Structure 1
Amino acid sequence: MTRPGADRVAASPSGHGLTGVADAGAFLARLVRLDAGAPVRLRPAGAPGRVVLWARLPWQVLVASTVAGDAAGDVTVGAADLLAELGRGGAALPERRDAQWRWPLPPSRSQPVEVLPSVEVRRIADAAAGTLRTASAQGVAGRAVGQRALRDALLDHVAVVVTPDDPPGPAVEVPQRLVQGLVRMGFLGAVDDPAGPSGHAGVRVRVAGRWVGLVGPYGAAWLQKATDLAVTPLTTRPNG
């Protein structure tokens, strides 16, 4: 996570190239707590001396954070392996696991839609967590409901709907999946520091094609909207 102060290319043989060890470690530690076996993808950012860390959370949300570094390539490794290497002060690149990365990334260019207050985004996430705890303990309408069903229903819930004003456009739905990704990866920063390192309070809602993103002070969460599938029924002929 950045604190204050499409085609792949060959990875640097000299090591992982990360110099923002504290920021990278914070990102990896949160990721590993959510998914111990998660891969993490390192890609050069648009600016020199910056590397983007990409990962996919268990609820299908991609998360990204930009940290200091000079990695010369695009490579995927085990998040736990890289975290361990950083923890012991090592500079080696863990064993590559490029085949484990199977998801597209959002386009590099996106359009701003709205800015949401950070405190409101955090409140939405906390309310969902409270609802899950209550429903797990007491059921819904007096009926017991499975933990996974409750979780999936909450994640699919549309938490925010925003409509672009300039230029006008269709409403953009922000599901709870994105909110949870942003908050649980720590991209809002500390509760007493809602403005983040850039001095701009709020969470930006952005769209890029079929992707919807929430961009916080320390990272972003992206979700690709499901593609509508057309089902054509098979027809049978009397004579084959």
Structure 2
Amino acid sequence: MTGSHPAAGPEPAGPVAAPAGHGLVGVADAGAFLARLVRLDRAAVVRLRPGATPGRTALWARLPWGVLVVRTVAGEGPGDATVAAGDLLAELAAGGPGLPPRHDAQWRWPLPPAASRPVESLPVAQLRRIADAAAGALRDATAHGVAGRAVGQRAVRDALLDHVPVVVTPDDAPGDPVEVPQRLVQGLVRMGFLGTVGTTPDGGDVQVRVAARWVGLVGPYGAAWSQKATDLAVRVVTTHTFG
């Protein structure tokens, strides 16, 4: 079984004339995505790309801890354009149809391939417990240290984000386990892709999917993707918004 999401495609080359408007119809869904994104990173950009089906637009963004997130909303969109997330949120909140100034050159990250395959389904409730446990560990370590020693909050955050709480061994590849790091879980939870407690049944599932060297978590309202650590030659240290 294979699934797909918008392919990365060629990167825009140089300035492109902006279309008349953003073309988004699912304003409430787009606004929810952008509002959470801006709370995590005020300077975030969002990349609008055609969805996998006609009449849909995929909103892509990169979180401060190096995870790509995507939500697909109704509307044809402007094609392939990158804008400031805060600017687009303000335009939608004002009921405006315009596309904010483009910042295509600020998008510097590859996207996962379009084709992906599911390897496991995890209960929504399990993902919530994993995220809650990490938040509790951060609070405890910040307040009391680790093994009696004071530890900087940022060091604890990085260690928690790198922790692998789920390892999946696909039935068709028993020798190739798929690691799901905490940073992916946090991307799904912090962007609201599991829904709020009570709106998503505890029996709901999140799919673990792989696409080449990418691992993804696909929830009811969006997905988070990350490249496997072996593919990352350089790791840029940034300030993480977590906890």
Normalised by the length of structure 2, the TM-score is 0.87
The unaligned stretches of length 5 or more in structure 2 are: 1-8, 234-243
The question of 1:26 aligning with 2:29 is answered no
Q: Which residue of structure 2 aligns with residue 203 of structure 1? A: 206
Per-residue deviation at 1:117?
A: 0.4
1:144 matched to 2:150: yes
Instruction: Show the counterpart of 1:222.
Output: 225
Deviation at 1:168, TM superposition (A): 4.1
Residue number in structure 2 paired with 1:157: 163
Instruction: Name which of 76, 79, 93 aligns with 1:73.
Output: 79
1:185-205 Cα offsets, whole Å, 9 max, x none, are 000012112249xxx811000
Deviations 1:102-144 (A, max 9, x none): 0000000011100000000010000000100010011111111
The answer to whether the 8 A contact 2:213-2:231 is kept is: no
Work out the CA distance in 2 between the residues paired with 1:228 and 1:85: 37
Seen in structure 2, the aligned counterparts of structure 1 residues 228 and 179 have a Cα distance that, compared at 3 Å, is closer
Supply the distance in 2 between the matched residues of 1:94 and 1:36 (Cα, whole angstroms): 16
In structure 1, C-alpha distance between the alignment counterparts of 2:57 and 2:74, rounded to whole Å: 6
Q: State which of 182, 187, 190 in structure 2 corresponds to 1:181.
A: 187
Question: CA shift at 1:72, angstroms?
Answer: 3.9
Q: 8 Å contact 2:23–2:77 — kept in the other structure?
A: yes
Percent identity of paired positions between Structure 1 and Structure 2: 73
How big is each residue's C-alpha offset from its partner over 1:130-179, in whole Å with a ceiling of 9 and x where there is no partner? Answer: 10001001111111100110000000000100110145451100000000
Query: 1:16 and 1:77 mapped to 2: Cα distance?
Result: 10
Change (3 A) 1:169 1:67: farther
Q: Distance in 2 between matches of 1:167 and 1:138?
A: 42
Deviations, residues 16-36 of structure 1 (Å, cap 9, x unaligned):
111100000000000000000
Deviation at 1:11, TM superposition (A): 6.8
TM-score (norm 1): 0.88
How far did residue 216 of structure 1 move?
0.1
Identify the residue that residue 101 of structure 1 maps to in structure 2: 107
Stretch moving more, 134-143 or 167-176: 167-176
Partner of 2:54, secondary structure, is coil
**2-structure distance, mates of 1:68, 1:24:** 9
Please give the alpha-carbon distance, in whole angstroms, between the structure 1 residues aligned to 2:47 and 2:216.
Answer: 18
Query: Alpha carbons of 1:228 and 1:78: their partners in 2 closer, same or farther (altered >3 Å)?
Result: closer
Aligned to 2:240: none
Partner amino acid for 1:171? P
Change (3 A) 1:108 1:229: closer
Which residue does 1:3 correspond to in 2?
none
**What is the number of residues matched between the two proteins?**
222
Aligned CA distance change for structure 1 residues 60 and 170 (closer, same or farther; 3 Å):
same
Tell me, yes or no, if the aligned pair for 2:216 and 2:225 is still in contact at 8 Å: yes
Alignment RMSD, CA only? Answer: 1.8
Q: Write the distance in 1 (CA, Å) between the matches of 2:17 and 2:72.
A: 18
